[in-house]
Chains A and B, each alone.
Chain A
Amino acid sequence: GQQLNQSPQSMFIQEGEDVSMNCTSSSIFNTWLWYKQDPGEGPVLLIALYKAGELTSNGRLTAQFGITRKDSFLNISASIPSDVGIYFCAGQGSAGNMLTFGGGTRLMVKP
């Protein structure tokens, strides 16, 4: 089946720093989505990307859909303590509308 490799697995940064995480796949995806999940809660949609090469921002978040359609990255600028959580990339491929998730990036922010 399709698999997404997400890196890094965890990050421990200082408040105010910028953060970058990415996902790669051997398969092509038609849609890339980025979610944030707090412990015991459901994933919250941050950004959706539909076109190869698309660059989209949502406040301090910026994400890009790779030109090959096999990768995506998420940047968070000027991190704050409430950015703490697990960030997941997810892709929708040609096999259906289900999401395939990456392994997640655990972000910890030091005030």
Chain B
Amino acid sequence: AAGVIQSPRHLIKEKRETATLKCYPIPRHDTVYWYQQGPGQDPQFLISFYEKMQSDKGSIPDRFSAQQFSDYHSELNMSSLELGDSALYFCASSRRSRAIYEQYFGPGTRLTVT
């Protein structure tokens, strides 16, 4: 079965640079969620989109923004990167329109800020 696709898998950036992470949800899934997981931590919710509209907002810094496109893929844009932004970033998808709330996670993007 098709899974959530994330790209790139690994990304190395310097402080103050920008980064863009991409997420392609499972086919027919309409909701995308972004989570950040620091070393040894549990995933923390950042932001979600349903039918291309922002749905919920968590602990996402103002330096970050995200959107969902007409093909349901999503991009997380991160600017003025800081060392503390180094983490695993996961995208998850679900099919809210069919009341299927299980979230399926992608393999993640490991972001390293130097």
Interface assignment of A88: CB less than 8 Å from any CB of chain B = yes
Let me know if B56 is at the binding interface, CB within 8 A.
Answer: yes
With both beta carbons as reference points, the residue of chain A lying nearest to B31 in the complex is identified as A97
Tally of A-B Cβ pairs under 8 angstroms: 58
Q: Which residues of B contact A59 (CB under 8 A)?
A: none
Cα–Cα distance between A102 and B17 once the two chains are bound (Å): 32
Classify the secondary structure of B's interface with A: strand
Per the bound structure, the CA–CA distance linking A98 and B31 in Å amounts to: 11
B102 contacts which of A40, A45, A100, A101 (Cβ < 8 Å)? A45
Are A99 and B33 neighbours in the complex by a CB distance under 8 Å? yes
Residues of B within 8 A of A99 (CB): 33, 35, 43, 45, 92, 103
- B43→A43 contact, CB < 8 A: yes
Interface residues of B (CB under 8 A from A): 4, 31, 33, 35, 42-45, 48, 55-56, 58, 88, 90, 92, 94, 96, 101-108, 110
